[in-house]
Every structure is written in C-alpha cells, then in structure tokens.
Amino acid sequence: MNGITGLIITRNEEHNIEECIRSLRMVCDEVIVVDSCSTDRTVAVAQSMGAKTIVQPYLGDGPQKNFGIDYASHPWVFSLDADERISPELAEAVNNIDLERTPYEAFEVRRRNFIGSRWIRCCHWYPNWLVRLYRTDKTRYTDSKQHASVPSSNKGRIKADIIHQAYDNIGEMFTKQAHSFSSRSAKIIFQSGKRVTAFAPVAHAFAAFFLNYFVRGGIWGGLDGLSISKAMAMNAYLKYARVLEYQRDPKVLENENFDEVW
C-alpha cells in the first residue's frame, strides 16, 4: 500500500463517517477528520475508528480541506466526502500506482452519483471527473468556500469510481437545496460583497433549469432528470432571493447568523 493520508471534512455525519473511514482504509494508512463542531457523535465515532480528529469551525469548503492537509503525515492525500465511498475497483487501481515514480501530481477519478438506489447519469452526474488524489507539496484545494476543486495541469486519470450517495430520495434533494445549500451559498455571496438585482433570482433559476434540463441532458433522464433540473433551479432562485433579502431587510440581516454558514 502507498503512503496516503485520507481526508474527510464533516458536520453531523455520525451515520456516514464509520463506513467512509473504512472505505478510505483500503488505500490509506492514515485518516484525518476535520469536523465543523458537530452536535452528534461524529467526532466520537471517528476517534473510535482510529482517525486523527480535529475540530475546526467551518472555514468554507476549500479552506477547511486545506486546513486538514496541514496535519497529514504523507505528501499524497485522498479526499473523500462523508457520504462517499471508494469502490473496490478504485482501491485496487490506487494501490497499483507507484506514487514514488509517477510523473503526475494529481489523479482524477469518476464519481458515480445515486439518488436512492438509482445511478444518475444525466445532468453531468456521470462521469463526474474530480481530482481526489493529489500531492500536497504540488497542489491543493482552491480557496473557494463552496465547491472547491484541486487545480492541476499535470494530472492522470483513474478509470474507476467513487460511490456517492448524493440523496436518499427526491424529497431530500429538494429539502437540502431549499435549506442548507441555498442558505450557505447566499451567506457566502453576501459576505463576498457582491450585490444582486431584483431580476437575479428569476434569471439564475431559469438559467439553472435550462442548463441542467436541456444542455446537460436532464430531458433524457425521465423523472430524475426533471427533478434534478427543478431542484437546481429552486436552489438558484432561493440563493439569490436570500441575498436580495439581506440587502433589503435590516431585520432579517440582523437576525441571521453568519458565523454559522450551514
């Protein structure tokens, strides 16, 4: 096995963290969990699994992951979200790479996204290529607070999958987009100083639906394709409507907790 550090950022993931760590152990001899002040048993479960666990209030997606990198014992890191798992095929492929001699500084893998037990291939959900294995003295996550990525002009591809349980059902997808995801995005946008107009919620919602349903092939995905497109449109609408509300309503702004972006 190569010397690789596994990295997970968490918040209230006690139902996921054990299997996630066990998955990483197939390719990693060290696992680091950076927890964003969970109120459940995430930290206790991670520690019981032998993970090096650090509690850090959420800094944003990229900064939080880069914070965890600083605790890694190995130059190579494999990042995984708590609701993701390394497939056996991916584990075998990673373990067969000679990381001491590889010319690459990073590797992309495919992410296989599921709603319930349904493997979703429309809306660019597959193949969803992402850099997850990377050498931290060469590259690391961008400082983006949402949907950060690992930039690299010298990367290889591993043609095997991460398994991602994106949502347990369609209802959960709409609920998360309406609450957690759009709220977090709105706070990040507002804190960046960006101003939005009254047209922004509708314009962004329309653009999100058109992109996912027509450009990204949601139209060929049946109910799931339509639901994903509508959920993305709802997310876009609420995100910008919330930013607009912060701009227009001092009472809403005063009552919002920007230290808690979740």
Per-residue pLDDT at 261: 62
Q: What are the structural domains of the chain?
A: 4-167 (3.90.550.10), 170-255 (no CATH)
> Residues 77, 141: contact at Cβ < 8 Å?
no
- Token reading at 164: 């991602």
pLDDT digits (tens, 9 = 90+) for 185-234: 999 999 999 999 999 999 999 999 999 999 999 999 999 999 999 999 99
Output the average pLDDT for the chain.
Answer: 96
pLDDT digits (tens, 9 = 90+) for 138-153: 999 999 988 999 999 9
The pTM (predicted TM-score) of the whole model is: 0.94
Listed in sequence order, the DSSP H helices in 138-221 are: 170-176, 182-191, 200-210
Confidence check: pLDDT of 262 > 70: no
pLDDT digits (tens, 9 = 90+) for 20-46: 999 999 999 999 999 999 999 999 999
pLDDT digits (tens, 9 = 90+) for 77-110: 999 999 999 999 999 999 999 999 999 999 999 9
Per-residue pLDDT at 11: 95
> Residues 14, 41: contact at Cβ < 8 Å?
yes
pLDDT digits (tens, 9 = 90+) for 124-142: 999 999 999 999 999 999 9
Three-state SS annotation for 207-255: HHHHHHHHHCCHHHCHHHHHHHHHHHHHHHHHHHHHHHHHHHCHHHHHH
Pairing mode, if any, of strands 4-10 and 30-35?
parallel
Per-residue pLDDT at 44: 98
Per-residue pLDDT at 130: 98
